[in-house]
Amino acid sequence: MPSPHRLANVPPMRAVRTGGAVPPALALLLGVVAILGVAWALLVPLAQSPDEDAHFGYAQVLAEDFRLPDEKPGPTYTSEHRLVAERARSFQTAQLLDSRTEWSALAEADWDRLQARLPRSARRRGGHADEFSGANAARTNPPAYYLLQAIPYRLAGGDVVDRWYAMRLFSVLLLLVAVAATWLLIGELTGRRRLLQLVGAAAVGLQPMELFIASSINPDAALMATWALAFWLGARILIRELTLPAGVALASVTALAILTKATSYALVPGVVTVFAVALSRERPRLGRFRLPAVASAAALGLPVLAWLVLSRSLDRAAVNAVAGGGGADAGPAVDVSLVNYLWQFYLPKLPFQTGIPPIERLPVFDVWVETGWGAFGWLEVRFPEPLYVLLGLLTAAVLLAGAVVLVRRRRPAELAVAAFMAVVTLTLLAGLHWVEYRSIVYDATSFNQGRYLLPVLPILGAAAAAALTLLPVRARPAVAGAALGGLFILQAASLAVVAARFYA
């Protein structure tokens, strides 16, 4: 099949050469996301987002000692980290709605007096495993995000709080990348229809959980950015053609995602699909695409291989520690089949099925919808349940509408993009469910959280854009306006519940 560009008789690289300034609608949306990102970053108390203490600890070890956290006996966190966590009551407030982080200025002044007396070495020698905290929970993550975070850590200087919040603000930049990439993805799919791009990109940039996670110290922020870029670059290749820069860019972004978090191996089957489709339609001229294909394979394979070799030489796990592994030797703790688990995750329990204690209610709602749309702090800060029902219904409606648009139009390039996205999403879901299944069987604990699906949020953005096109022509602007208004209110409500939980 000839390239779409040759159909249109337009040289593919013209796209890059004629690229102009940032479209005003995108610039304004990025401004909004930046304001909200700063608000989230500064409002949420220190270490009151999932595993933030572990992620800060990892970045600090890397920035101060230039090594990775390990499991050797020794302090998990540096003494300056422990001091501020104790004085700010970070540990004892996590997940406990009756507790509050310290809000006494006197207590802060007392901490300030103590921390000013700490020697420089108080920033070093963390990253081991002590009796109280155990090993750093993030230690099995690859180092890419933490290396990036070493930049604001180093630049910020000051005390531990100054550096902590500088790192959070830096993370917000990654969200801007995710929003811009979603804009570009939808532009690629819709032919630069600005209203559709605005609504789709806003669905990513104004989604409460996305903003909350992206504005804390968490490698998921980099995951959201790299996955959004991968979706855009993959769609670009499928809609246009495989070129050397496009192929290498997609492969590099995928490698960066893998070096950020091993979850990103889920991108690989999708990326392979992109290259397979792109090469199959160029079959008569396959020789021309040898260089892009080989260079792309190298751009993906070499960094990942280097990390695998390095982690092996350092005697480290090359991928994240898989839950449930620890208890495997002791035998199953819960007797449940994979099919039974999957059924009860997505559908109500049938009378003859035995219950699965860690997932008693319907997890597709409790996990994917509730903790995917908004569960702040250490997931203990929630909206009233009816709001999640509404958000769940809207999400389902938008995804369904996106599928309807796809089926109605049956355009090969769009179907290929949809296949790419579906392969990535299904691989991600398969991995998450397999880990949770093992976790339930061997440790009797659940694993999944809605935020693990945030990297595929650009797909929801694209579906939202597609859903708009199903509406009568005259209704589209009003519905787009209402959608933006709803996302704005959701943001305001999210910030309000967080402020009320921690400071009132």
Partner 1 sequence: MRKSALIAFALVACAGLAALAAVAATDERRLAFTLGVLPGVPVELRPDSEACQRPVWVSEPFDRVQLQIGTYGRAGQPLAVSVRTLGGRELAQGRLGGGYPDVSRPDIVVGEVDRGRVAVCVENTGHRKVALYGGPSLAAVGALWIDGSRTETDATMVFLRDEPRSLLALLPDIFDHAAVFKPAWVGAWTFWLLAALLFAAVPVLLGAGLRAALRADGDAPSGAPATASAPAQERPPARVR
Place of tokens 């070129």: 243
For partner 1, give the closer residue by CB, 97 or 347: 97
For partner 1, give the closer residue by CB, 213 or 235: 235
In the chain, the N- to C-terminal Cα span, in Å, equals 63
Instruction: Retrieve residue 176's tokens.
Output: 């801007």
Of 469, 475, 456, nearest in space to 203 by CA: 456
| Least CB distance to partner 1 at residue 88 (A) | 4
| Least CB distance to partner 1 at residue 35 (A) | 5
**In this structure, are residues 169 and 423 in contact, taking their beta carbons and an 8 Å threshold?**
no
| Least CB distance to partner 1 at residue 194 (A) | 4
Place of tokens 């850590």: 153
For partner 1, give the closer residue by CB, 31 or 357: 31
| Least CB distance to partner 1 at residue 385 (A) | 15
What is the C-alpha separation between 238 and 415, in angstroms, rounded?
Answer: 10
Secondary structure (H, E, C), 250-293:
HHHHHHHHHCCCHHHHHHHHHHHHHHHHHHHCCHHHHHHHHHHH
What value does the CA radius of gyration of the chain take, rounded to a whole number of Å?
23
For partner 1, give the closer residue by CB, 116 or 350: 116
| Least CB distance to partner 1 at residue 401 (A) | 12
| Least CB distance to partner 1 at residue 273 (A) | 18
What is the C-alpha separation between 251 and 291, in angstroms, rounded?
Answer: 13
| Least CB distance to partner 1 at residue 459 (A) | 17
Q: At what angle do helices 24-43 and 476-503 cross, to 10 degrees?
A: 20
For partner 1, give the closer residue by CB, 85 or 300: 85
For partner 1, give the closer residue by CB, 321 or 470: 470
For partner 1, give the closer residue by CB, 196 or 221: 196
What is the C-alpha separation between 15 and 192, in angstroms, rounded?
Answer: 12
| Least CB distance to partner 1 at residue 214 (A) | 17
Of 288, 227, 229, 206, nearest in space to 40 by CA: 206
For partner 1, give the closer residue by CB, 248 or 323: 248
| Least CB distance to partner 1 at residue 206 (A) | 9
What is the C-alpha separation between 122 and 111, in angstroms, rounded?
Answer: 14
For partner 1, give the closer residue by CB, 8 or 306: 8
For partner 1, give the closer residue by CB, 360 or 385: 385
Q: Kindly write down the DSSP assignment for every residue of 46-85, as one continuous string.
A: TT-STTHHHHHHHHHHHHHHSS----SBS-SS-HHHHHHH
| Least CB distance to partner 1 at residue 60 (A) | 16
Q: 169: exposed, middle or buried (C-beta count within 10 Å: 0-12, 13-18, 19+)? A: middle
What is the C-alpha separation between 162 and 167, in angstroms, rounded?
Answer: 9
Q: Kindly write down the DSSP assignment for every residue of 307-341, as one continuous string.
A: HHHHHHHTT--SSPPPTTSTTGGG--SS---HHHH
